[in-house]
A and B are shown apart, each in its own frame.
Chain A
Amino acid sequence: MELKKRVARLSLGAILILCLISVAQAQNFEVKTHTLKNGMKILVNEDPSIPNVAMYIFYRIGSRNERPGTTGISHFFEHMMFNGAKKYGPKQFDVTMEAAGGSNNAFTNNDVTVYQDWFPHSAIDLIFDLEADRIENLSFDPKMVASEREVVASERRTSVDSENSGLLNEQLWAAAFTAHPYHWPVVGWMVDIQNWKMDDLKHHFEMGYSPSNATMVVSGNVTADEIFKLAEKYIEPIPSHAPPPPVTTKEPEQMGERRVVVKKFAQLPLLMIGYHVPETASPDYYPLEVLQTILFAGESSRMYQRLVDKDQLALSVESEYQLSFDPTLFIINAQPKDGVSPDKVEKTVYEELDKAKTDFVTDNELQKAKNILLANFYRNMKTINGKASAIGSYEVFFGDYHRLFTAADEFNKVTKEDVRRVAQKYFSDKNRTVATLVPESADPKGGGNER
């Protein structure tokens, strides 16, 4: 078994929805659309290159729609969507789908809950039947709720308690956001996971799962006509209702640096620096993506060159800049080397950011960033899964899937003046939150460290 390889990279995360791709002279491919009478929009890309189909359903509901006391309920609810409805009872969703050759997954983030099915074309009718059943008639069996609560608790222990970067990331967001719901973690605080009531779940379903609050994307060995007909048969009869109430809270402007320290047993320290940046739909998205590419993409990037290669202060340095509905964070993650203080790493990161604020990036760097973004675009278009994800992400976060095909022009328009302007505007000390994990040695008595 191998260790994860060290690289400076954009933190792409599990799914492409995290960091969007971009284009430049990218080829168009055809997307056909249809909106059902109940308001659900369907987007189809016909691609017969393999005999399979990728289906994504995006619901515009995530942890930003939650409240203190029931944090994490969007994610918990996502789990419940697999635990039985009217026609297909407990476990039958997965058992039936796998027996027909299909598989599935789902994920939740701050803004959306997304369900994914991957299946051979022969299973297409069944998949619609399964999806319609759980959207219309989900059951709330108390026994399933109790068991799933434990699964989610285990998930939290795995992704937060057992993973230092998960723990620190949670603390960073909690400090950077004081008013807006991005303050709490998607998986939820442990006490909240343990305390939701059945009524909370039912309320969440009513709030988030109207067909009009969802977008379906299908890519693969299908025809658009066949998908639209199936959707009309299975999904259209499901009544629509009110969407979630708008999230009106705005995070007040940050007036000075915030610092968080986490002390726990660890081999090495960690450093995370977060800057408030605007939502995806903002025009500054494109210059920020270009700047991110120049600073973090590849071993020739500025941050890798300085921190990993030349000064040898860090094992890795990465950035994270998610798609989002509301103003979010641009995060820099660094893993200091053994014996190097996080302070030294932090100071060096600022020196590199200052250069981007003071001087223009070179023409060569600007062109390189555009080339990398173009190549990444094609890489994401290699699979039907990648295409379904990209079409849906542009439709939901940019408001129109056509933006996938015009991103090319948007990136090409970015100038070095734009890049310097966004560096100056967002990478200021007043606008940042710094989180550091400081290793503690183990308690010899074996106590402590438990949360």
Chain B
Amino acid sequence: MNVNRKIKPSFLTAILLGATLTSFASVPVSANDQLKLPPVKKVKLKNGMTLLLMERHGVPIVSFNVIVKAGSVADPVGKEGLAAITADMLKKGTKARTEDQISEQTDFIGGEVGFDAGGDFTRGAAEFLKKDIDKGLDLLSDVMINPTFPQDEVEKDKKQTIDQLKSAKDDASNVIGIYFDAFLYGDHPYARPVDGTETSIANITRDDILKFYESYYSPSNTILAVAGDINIADMENVLTSKFEPWSGGPSPKIELKDAPAVKGKRLLLVDKPDSTQTYFMIGNVGIARTNPDRVYINVVNTLFGGRFTSLLNSGLRINSGLTYGADSSFEQLRAAGPFAISSYTANESTEKAIDMALSILKDLHEKGITEQQLTSAKNYIKGQYPPRVETSDQLASLMTTLEYYGLDESDVNNLYAKIDSMTLADANRIIKQYFPTDDLVFVLIGKASEIQKIASKYAPQIKVKSISDPSFN
């Protein structure tokens, strides 16, 4: 087993959520030169489906990425996890293939096909060697267009999901984000656990899945991108012939408003009696993917909690050894996503670590940041950006994501200029506007018998629940 010095960081993903994308010609450019996205061809099929195509030569691999514009925000109340189960079930049988045939044929060509629901949307990803592209596309289009949702496979998937939910709770880091979203968002759709709860999954029927599929999986509700070792014109013809026969729709548009920020302080303590560590998240409602300040927010968050030498990781790990890692992130979604500080520490240092995180947040407001820090963060983001958009699968995912959020290449092509334009005054405004200090939601997972008293000091009232309780709120 490898033991790493740092957590395999979601750090960077978080930093670049607002700006994930690009590719390069094979001409070296210095880190400060603006990176330009290679040409993207956008095609609207007659049935309303959107195609995006990009050439990226190198290894003989072709990557596909799909967004179907319905995620857990479309789950009915009481049937949370429906979008996720529907996505799982696509590969569990089609009009032409049984589940076994789908997995056997995919594996035989060393291919990958998978669909996963998120909050805003469901994402599919597939990848094949160039020589197997016809067979691969046959599989991908079949599972998207012709799924049959066999009853026995539905039951199997439900059982597996329920056990998966139980098993996930054996490691607090798997589930603390789910508790946090549920507690922070209350009645808003972003409160819903994407994979559901043990109770809600049990409520889902094959009819629910069929109805969800028929409502939302339609060509006009679907974006498909391809990047890799292709010829754009040829690939456009192939994709058109595969997907134009798909009929259906239009799909209902999912209404979604920003959740208001929580006022005051609230705390949820989840009791996990075997814990030797307390896991905690502290935050509030943050920003949407299209927030005009997103690049500046990413710069400030890089300094605050987005890299190894960030203020949070310096305080809680480097200077004090209270934890193995402390970070902060803004998850950027269609509506305002969560902002959260996250870390964990030994039971006995719970108070010290939380106090320190709060005091670092306070210092950010009171002391601000220096010109030197600002320059360092700018260099860091630009220097770490290229490997985020290095491969055909990253580029295909970038294209569908930009299209879904109504953004375009300028999000990438102007990124470095936007970063360079940021001043200290901008940074200070961002701190005041986007980093809450008085209104905060806390979620702690740990051994209640040892930490409940400490937890009580952070909010006027606290809620305590057992990790064995099936619900997350």
A interface residues, Cβ below 8 angstroms from B: 1-6, 13-15, 17-18, 48-52, 75, 78-79, 82, 91, 94-95, 98-109, 118-123, 146-151, 153-155, 157-159, 161-164, 166, 169, 185-187, 221, 264-268, 297-301, 305, 308-309, 312, 315, 322, 335, 337-338, 364, 367-368, 371-376, 378-379, 381-385, 442-443, 446, 449-451
The CA-CA distance from A134 to B24 in the complex, in Å, is: 34
Contact A154 B322 (CB under 8 A): yes
In the bound assembly, the distance between CA atoms of A109 and B103 in angstroms comes to 34
Bound Cα distance from A371 to B106, whole angstroms = 11
Cross-interface CB contact of A371 among B99, B109, B163, cutoff 8 Å: B109
CB-based contact A372/B107 at 8 Å:
yes
Q: Could you tell me which residues of chain B, from 104 to 121, have a CB within 8 Å of some CB in chain A?
A: 104, 106-111, 114, 116-118
| Chain B residues whose C-beta falls within 8 Å of the C-beta of A95 in the assembled complex | 309, 376
Contact B276 A105 (CB under 8 A): no
Complex contact B167–A150 (CB within 8 A): no
What are 26 of the A-B contact pairs (CB < 8 Å)? A1-B178, A1-B194, A2-B118, A3-B164, A3-B175, A3-B195, A4-B168, A15-B2, A48-B26, A95-B376, A99-B379, A109-B3, A148-B321, A151-B324, A154-B321, A166-B1, A169-B1, A185-B1, A264-B274, A267-B169, A308-B160, A312-B159, A315-B167, A371-B110, A384-B390, A442-B273
Give Cα A364–Cα B99 distance, bound, in whole angstroms. 18
Q: Please name the 8 residue pairs, one residue from A and one from B, whose CB atoms are nearest each other, closest first.
A: A101-B383, A375-B110, A150-B321, A446-B449, A1-B177, A120-B31, A265-B274, A442-B273
Interface residues of B in 445-461 (CB under 8 A from A): 447-450
The answer on a CB contact under 8 Å between A98 and B345 is no
Which of B109, B272, B383, B448 is A123 in contact with, Cβ under 8 Å?
B383
Measured between alpha carbons, how far is A315 from B156 in the docked complex, in Å?
11
Known contacts A1-B181, A154-B277, A158-B344; A382/B109 CB under 8 A: no
Do B177 and A82 touch across chains, with their CB atoms under 8 A apart? no
Contact of A101 among B173, B181, B309, B379 (CB under 8 A): B379
> How many CB-defined contacts (below 8 Å) exist between A and B?
277
Contact of B30 among A118, A122, A161 (CB under 8 A): A122
Residue numbers in A under 8 Å from B318 (CB-CB): 91, 94, 147
Mask, B303-331, CB within 8 Å of A = 1, is 00001110000100111111110000000
Contact flags B254-287 to A (C-beta < 8 A → 1, else 0): 0000000000000000001111110000000000
Query: Which of A120, A150, A266 is B322 in contact with, Cβ under 8 Å?
Result: A150
Interface residues of B, Cβ cutoff 8 Å to A: 1-6, 8, 12, 24, 26-33, 58-61, 84, 99-100, 103-104, 106-111, 114, 116-118, 127, 129, 156, 159-160, 162-175, 177-178, 180-181, 194-195, 272-277, 307-309, 314, 317-324, 344-346, 375-376, 379-380, 382-384, 386-387, 390-393, 447-450, 468
Given contacts A1-B178, A379-B61, contact A118 B384 (CB under 8 A): yes
* Nearest Cβ on chain B to A195's Cβ, whole angstroms: 16
Give Cα distance in the complex from A298 to B112, angstroms: 9
Contact across chains for B163 and A337 when beta carbons are under 8 A apart = yes
Residue in chain A with minimal CB distance to B166: A267
Residues of B within 8 A of A298 (CB): 103, 106-107
> In the complex, what's the smallest C-beta–C-beta distance from A338 to chain B, in angstroms?
5
Contact of A105 among B6, B59, B111, B118 (CB under 8 A): B6
Shortest Cβ distance from residue A55 to the other chain B in the assembled complex, whole angstroms: 13
- Min Cβ gap B103→A in Å is 4
Are A371 and B322 in touch, CB under 8 angstroms? no
Which A residue sits closest to B228, measured CB to CB?
Answer: A382
User: Cβ of A120 and Cβ of B386 under 8 Å apart?
Assistant: yes
List residues of chain A with CB within 8 A of the CB of B33: 51
Closest to A385 in B: B387
Known: A157-B277, A382-B391. A106 touches B383 (CB 8 A): no
- A449 near B5: Cβ-Cβ < 8 Å: no
A305–B98 Cα distance when bound, in Å, is: 13
| A108 and B110 contact, Cβ closer than 8 Å, known pairs A51-B24, A155-B324 | no
Chain B residues near A153 (CB, 8 Å)? 321, 346
CA distance A437 to B421 in the complex (A): 55
Excluding A18-B2, A122-B30, A312-B159, 20 further A-B contacts by CB distance (< 8 Å) are A2-B116, A2-B195, A3-B174, A4-B168, A15-B2, A91-B314, A94-B308, A94-B318, A95-B376, A98-B309, A101-B383, A121-B31, A157-B277, A161-B276, A267-B170, A300-B100, A315-B164, A371-B109, A375-B109, A379-B127
- Contact pick for B59, options A101, A267, A381, CB 8 Å: A381
B169 contacts which chain A residues (CB < 8 A)?
A: 267
Report the bound CA distance from A185 to B33 in whole Å.
46
Q: B379–A300 contact, CB under 8 A? A: no
Q: Is the CB of B172 within 8 A of A162?
A: yes
* Chain B residue with the shortest CB-CB distance to A340: B163
Chain B residues near A103: list those with CB within 8 A.
12, 307-308, 380, 383-384
- Cβ–Cβ contact A107 & B129, under 8 A: no
Q: Of all chain A residues, which has the CB nearest B321?
A: A150
Contact across chains for B170 and A383 when beta carbons are under 8 A apart: no
CA distance A60 to B225 in the complex (A): 44
| A121 cross-chain contacts in B, Cβ below 8 A | 28, 30-31
**In whole angstroms, what is the CA distance A4 to B181 when docked?**
17
Q: A48-B27, A106-B4 are in contact. Are A154 and B324 (CB under 8 A)?
A: yes
A394–B111 Cα distance when bound, in Å, is 25
Q: Given A4-B174, A50-B387, A99-B379, is A338 in contact with B166 using a C-beta cutoff of 8 Å?
A: yes
Are A151 and B323 in contact, with the CB atoms below 8 A?
Answer: yes
